[in-house]
Amino acid sequence: RRSYGFGRADEATHPDSIRATLAEFLSTFVFVFAAEGSILSLDKLYWEHAAHTGTNTPGGLILVALAHAFALFAAVSAAINVSGGHVNPAVTFGALVGGRLSAIRAIYYWIAQLLGAIIACLLLRLATNGLRPVGFRVASGVGVVNGLVLEIILTFGLVYVVYATLIDPK
């Protein structure tokens, strides 16, 4: 059911809104912690492999991609029946624009998603003694504008797939 609007006044404190917001926080936290943790693990394995063999191989990227996929699957599965399992602010924006989410709930979700991601990164940094991934950046020759265009296209693709399959599967 589509409904465009800000939302009811009682929606801000309704238990369903609070539960859904908490689900978005936790699912985003789980996804970011697992995904970023896999990148840190790959960095360690990548550089240890290079030190022992003298070569760097990109085979670990497959493991990181699989870790991201499984983390996203777990996060969405855990939250889908409570909040829709958006996990990503762009997906929440798509649901808002499509009339499937009130503005109040979208704002709650955005705050929860951003806090979940920030806290996951801070706890990961604390757990790894400040370790940061060093090997992931855009390829040489790819500028800021190119990277922005790529992000816009890929984010549109993500929102389109989620909207077409989960939010409005007609």
**Average pLDDT of span 79-89:** 93
- pLDDT the model gives residue 51: 64
Q: Is the pLDDT of residue 89 over 80?
A: yes
Q: Say if CB 98 and CB 163 are below 8 A apart.
A: yes
% of the chain at pLDDT higher than 90: 50
Between 60 and 89, the higher pLDDT residue: 89
Residue 115: which pLDDT band, with cuts at 50, 70 and 90? very high
Check pLDDT > 70 for residue 34.
yes
Name the residue ranges covered by the structural domains of the chain: 9-137
Where does the pLDDT of residue 47 fall: very low under 50, low under 70, confident under 90, or very high at 90 and above? Answer: low
Q: DSSP per residue over the chain, as a string?
A: ----SS--GGGGT-HHHHHHHHHHHHHHHHHHHHHHHHHHHHHHHHHHHHHHHS---TTHHHHHHHHHHHHHHHHHHHHTTTT----SHHHHHHHHHTTSS-HHHHHHHHHHHHHHHHHHHHHHHHHTTT----S--PPTT--HHHHHHHHHHHHHHHHHHHIIIII---
- pLDDT of 57 > 80? The answer is no
Question: How much is the average pLDDT of 132-155?
Answer: 84
The CATH number fitting domain 9-137, selected from 3.40.50.2000, 1.20.120.1200, 3.50.50.60, 1.20.1080.10:
1.20.1080.10
Average pLDDT score, the chain? 86
Task: Please count the residues of the chain.
Answer: 170
Q: Is the pLDDT of residue 1 over 60?
A: no
- Contacts for 79 with CB less than 8 Å, ≥ 6 apart: 23, 24, 26, 27, 85, 86, 87
pLDDT at residue 135, rounded to an integer: 61
Mean of the pLDDT values across residues 79-99?
A: 93
Q: Which two tokens stand for residue 151?
A: 């992000």
Q: Is the pLDDT of residue 44 over 90?
A: no
